[in-house]
């Protein structure tokens, strides 16, 4: 009799405990969600929206729609909201993916290039555009031939070779020399091809497909991401000038009060072109030039000639800041330490200038800049 009673008590205890557990769980869900556990109306944590919630077509479908992020440390230090467009999140690792894709697409639309016919895309570049061209050429059925100065970061050559590009290194010389890397790429393209194969010179400095890549895509993205153009300043450097001109022409037509500032590395002549309409840098003095283009550790921006793409928007640029190598290096280390942002040299230049603009405008303003690429392709030179 005692054994039966014990078993009955045990059974009652188990059933009672189960009922209490179910009731308490339901009560907790109701407390947190205000509804049944099957259909919570307010989640406990907010899941960030997907960058792109649809299925894309190939690697070129991954290009663009990059996030616009608040750079916390710089915003807190200045009292402004400093936003960086994370172009390093493109599949090729830089904003040049947009340019390379649009250049190749434009050539296809004009009937110049046809995939899988043995055609080759040629370009003279200091690295990033070449990497983007090599990636997209592979994806779309072309080969890539990249001509570069031989004094760039070593990882750029390595990336190009892994992507299957033919890499031709040349000594740094002036743009007026026929063996300058851009000039040589043009010559190589003209010598290539036959009845079926084409050698196409991408010509990123003068090809307006560069400008339109940003006028038609990057600019509208920034406009939308700032809730219909709620920004006060745009700050970025220029190499080919396509990004600066494309963004400036698109945004200034829609944001009446917008100010645009050029961020120029030491040794570049664009600063004086914007400020005084004279293409000149102190390193242009007789006997002072050391390199082919710009005397700086910064790669990807700065030039001592007026390109077609830069000229398209230069009259809309309001002012310019010159950034030294030391300032760029210090900024890059600061952003790693404070924000975990590991950026390349041109991005660091942009951030230095963004802080200067914030201090000039005063607290409460919204400033947008570009984070062109990460530090991963600048390890052997800038880092």
CB-based contact 320:326 (threshold 8 Å):
no
Is 64-92+217-285+295-377 CATH 3.40.50.1860? no
Residues 6+ apart with CB under 8 A from 301: 237, 238, 239, 263, 264, 265, 268, 346, 349
Q: Which residues pair with residue 198 across a beta bridge?
A: 193
Task: With cut-offs at 50, 70 and 90, classify the pLDDT of residue 17.
Answer: low
Of 290, 264, 221, give the one whose Cα is nearest residue 65.
221
pLDDT at 262 over 70: yes
Residues 6+ apart with CB under 8 A from 269: 279, 280, 281, 284, 303, 304, 305
Looking at the chain, list the stretches that DSSP marks H as alpha helix, in order from N- to C-terminal side: 2-33, 72-78, 96-109, 128-140, 154-162, 181-191, 208-213, 219-225, 242-252, 270-276, 308-311, 325-339, 345-361
367 or 376, higher pLDDT: 367
What is the tens place of the pLDDT at every residue in 84-122?
Answer: 999 999 999 999 999 999 999 999 999 999 999 999 999
Q: What is the pTM of this model?
A: 0.84
The stretch 305-334 carries a mean pLDDT of 96
Lowest mean pLDDT among 18-32, 61-75, 174-188: 18-32
What is the tens place of the pLDDT at every residue in 164-201?
Answer: 999 999 998 888 899 999 999 999 999 998 888 999 99
pLDDT at 21 over 60: no
Angstrom distance (rounded) from CA 349 to CA 369: 10
What is the bridge-based pairing of β-strands 68-70 and 81-86?
antiparallel
pLDDT at 10 over 60: no
- CA 129 → CA 45, 101, 124, 136, 195, distances in Å? 40, 10, 9, 11, 28
For CATH 3.40.50.1100, the residue range(s) in the chain are 64-92+217-285+295-377, 95-201
pLDDT at 288 over 70: no
Determine the pLDDT at residue 71: 98
How many CA atoms are closer than 13 Å to the CA of 110, on its beta-carbon side? Answer: 10
CB-based contact 303:268 (threshold 8 Å):
yes
Lowest mean pLDDT among 139-148, 234-243, 293-302, 324-333: 293-302
Lowest mean pLDDT among 5-14, 19-28, 311-320: 19-28
Task: With cut-offs at 50, 70 and 90, classify the pLDDT of residue 31.
Answer: very low
Of 90, 121, 126, give the one whose Cα is nearest residue 104.
121
Looking at every residue in the chain, the average pLDDT score rounds to: 87
Residue 23's CB is within 10 A of a number of other CB atoms, namely 10
Residue 340's CB is within 10 A of a number of other CB atoms, namely 9
| CATH number assigned to the domain with residue range 95-201, chosen from the 4 options 3.40.50.300, 3.40.50.1100, 1.10.1450.10, 3.40.470.10 | 3.40.50.1100
Determine the pLDDT at residue 376: 87
């Amino acid at each position: 009799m005692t054994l039966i009673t014990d078993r009955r008590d045990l059974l009652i205890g188990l059933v009672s405990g189960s009922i209490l557990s179910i009731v308490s769980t339901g009560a907790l869900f109701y407390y947190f969600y205000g509804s049944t556990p099957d259909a919570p109306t307010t989640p406990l944590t907010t899941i960030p929206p997907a960058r792109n919630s649809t299925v894309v077509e190939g690697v070129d479908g991954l290009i663009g729609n990059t996030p616009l992020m608040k750079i916390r440390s710089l915003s807190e230090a200045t009292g402004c909201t400093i936003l960086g467009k994370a172009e390093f999140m493109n599949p090729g690792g830089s904003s040049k993916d947009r340019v390379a894709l649009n250049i190749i697409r434009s050539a296809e639309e004009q009937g110049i290039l046809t995939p899988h016919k043995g055609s080759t895309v040629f370009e003279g570049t200091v690295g990033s555009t070449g990497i983007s061209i090599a990636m997209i050429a592979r994806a779309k059925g072309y080969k890539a031939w990249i001509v570069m100065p031989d004094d760039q970061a070593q990882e750029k050559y390595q990336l190009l070779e892994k992507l299957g590009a033919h890499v031709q290194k040349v000594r740094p010389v002036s743009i007026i020399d026929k063996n300058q890397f851009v000039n040589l790429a043009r010559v190589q393209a003209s010598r290539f091809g036959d009845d079926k194969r084409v050698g196409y010179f991408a010509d990123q400095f003068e090809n307006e497909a560069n400008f339109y890549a940003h006028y038609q895509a990057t600019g509208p993205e920034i406009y939308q991401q700032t809730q219909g153009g709620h920004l006060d300043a745009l700050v970025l450097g220029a190499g080919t000038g396509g990004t600066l001109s494309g963004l400036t022409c698109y945004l200034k037509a829609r944001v009446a009060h917008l100010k645009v500032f050029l961020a120029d590395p030491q040794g570049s002549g664009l600063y004086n072109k914007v400020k005084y309409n004279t293409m000149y840098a102190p390193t242009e003095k007789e006997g002072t030039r050391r390199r082919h283009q710009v005397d700086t550790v910064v790669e990807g921006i700065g030039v001592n000639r007026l390109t077609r793409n830069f000229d398209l928007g230069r009259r809309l640029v309001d002012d310019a800041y010159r950034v030294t190598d030391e300032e760029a290096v210090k900024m890059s280390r600061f952003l790693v330490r404070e924000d975990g942002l590991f950026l390349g040299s041109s991005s660091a230049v942009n951030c230095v200038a963004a802080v200067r603009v914030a201090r000039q405008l005063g607290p409460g303003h919204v400033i947008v800049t570009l984070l062109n690429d990460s530090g991963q392709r600048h390890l052997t030179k800038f880092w």
